[in-house]
Amino acid sequence: MAMHTDLSIYKASLGLLQMATNLTRNIPRDLKQSLGKRVIDECIDVLMLIARANSTRDKRPHLTLLVEKVQVIEFLMRLFKESRFISVGQHATAIEVTTSIGKQANAWKRSTPTAPAT
């Protein structure tokens, strides 16, 4: 088993966290504490779920939650774009990364055998 830090999904997620950190600088101060913090927290949660999925036998629950958190990040990025806190290009780049993470997580989930019945 590879270290979670060596996985391409982890590297993409770390890039998303760095991107989110930079993009939240453009959010107005009154929303920065709620929405800006939320998107960064969701990115950190994605990184933690990758580490958990890599270290457990039953990866499915972690990967399912990971995909949900990526969707939340996409919703927030869409809100940022529609509110003109980020540009269309920045939004497109963020969505490319979230799509890549989602595809990798779903492929990882498909390649994982189902958990044994207890």
Sequence spans of domains, the chain: 4-110
Q: What is the pLDDT of residues 45-71, one digit of tens each?
A: 999 999 999 999 899 999 999 999 999
pLDDT at position 114 is 66
Paired tokens of 118: 């207890």
Residue 76 CA to residue 80 CA, distance in Å, equals: 6
Which candidate, 57, 69, 55, places its Cα nearest to that of 105? 69
Helix axes 88-111 and 8-23, enclosed angle (nearest 10): 150
Query: How far is residue 118's CA from residue 106's CA, in Å, rounded to a whole number?
Result: 24
Domain 4-110: state its class.
mainly alpha
Low-confidence residues in the chain, pLDDT < 50? none
DSSP structure class, residue 32: I
The angle subtended at Cα 96 by Cα 75 and Cα 100, nearest 5°, is 100
Q: Is the pTM value of this prediction over 0.85?
A: yes
